Homo-oligomer: A and B are copies of this chain.
């Protein structure tokens, strides 16, 4: 297929710039987390809840990736947190060069944590190294327990899996055991954090995992 032949040079260029990003983040000792998820799984709500849990200890900024609009960046800024909006102009994922330009406007010396909200998409962001320390993903309960089978790549590259909207489990026919077994088969070491971002439940364990990672760099 044509697409695969054309993808290699894009990925090579992306990886080169990602290495530069990684060196920059290491130099300034800022931890960078890339969050991937479907549209409407609650990425921005989860980021807001994470900020709430960690802002007393860490200085945080957010990079918002969207096809269009800046509503998410505005929600973050309304909480007094620095936010940079990237509009990809139709592209289905963020690339390391977009991140490189976005961090230019941030004061890296002052920051401990940058959270990147990738474009809502379970497929394309998987392949792109942004120079981040970790990728994490969110699945929301209404999307269904069969998603690891259908979108294995994103589960494989994520160091942590957040299961959002767990308060709606009674409404949907979500088999938690089947979901956990499927994730474990794809990614045996990734912890699963059940949360409700809008209700604030389960955030502590997730924030603790992230705080441990930030302190370790």
- Cα A146 to Cα B92 with chains together (Å): 18
**A150 in complex: contacting residue of B1, B71, B92, B165, CB < 8 Å:** B71
- Who on chain B is nearest to A127 by CB? B90
Q: A26 at the A/B interface (Cβ < 8 Å)?
A: no
A27-78 interface (Cβ within 8 A of B): 38-41, 66-69, 71-72
- Chain B neighbourhood of A38, CB < 8 A: 38-40, 120, 143
Let me know if A140 is at the binding interface, CB within 8 A. Answer: yes
A13 at the interface (CB under 8 A from B): yes
Which B residues touch A91, using CB under 8 A?
Answer: 1, 3-4
How many angstroms between the C-alpha atoms of A17 and B10 in the bound complex? Answer: 25
- A216: interface (CB < 8 Å): no
- B168, A39: Cβ atoms closer than 8 Å: no
Q: Does A111 contact B (CB under 8 A)?
A: no
Complex: chain B residue closest to A97, CB-CB = B1
| Bound-complex Cα distance A1 to B4 (A) | 18
A2 to B98, CA, bound (A): 12
Q: Select one of B13, B39, B140, B149 contacting A2, CB under 8 A.
A: B13
Listed residue (A6, A39, A89, A92) with the most chain B CB atoms within 10 angstroms of its CB? A39
User: Given A120-B122, A120-B151, 12 other A-B contacts at CB below 8 A?
Assistant: A1-B89, A3-B91, A6-B6, A6-B10, A38-B40, A39-B150, A67-B123, A69-B150, A90-B123, A92-B92, A123-B124, A142-B165
13 A-B residue pairs with Cβ-Cβ distance under 8 Å, sorted by A, are A1-B89, A4-B91, A6-B10, A38-B143, A40-B142, A40-B144, A67-B123, A68-B149, A68-B152, A71-B150, A121-B124, A142-B143, A142-B168
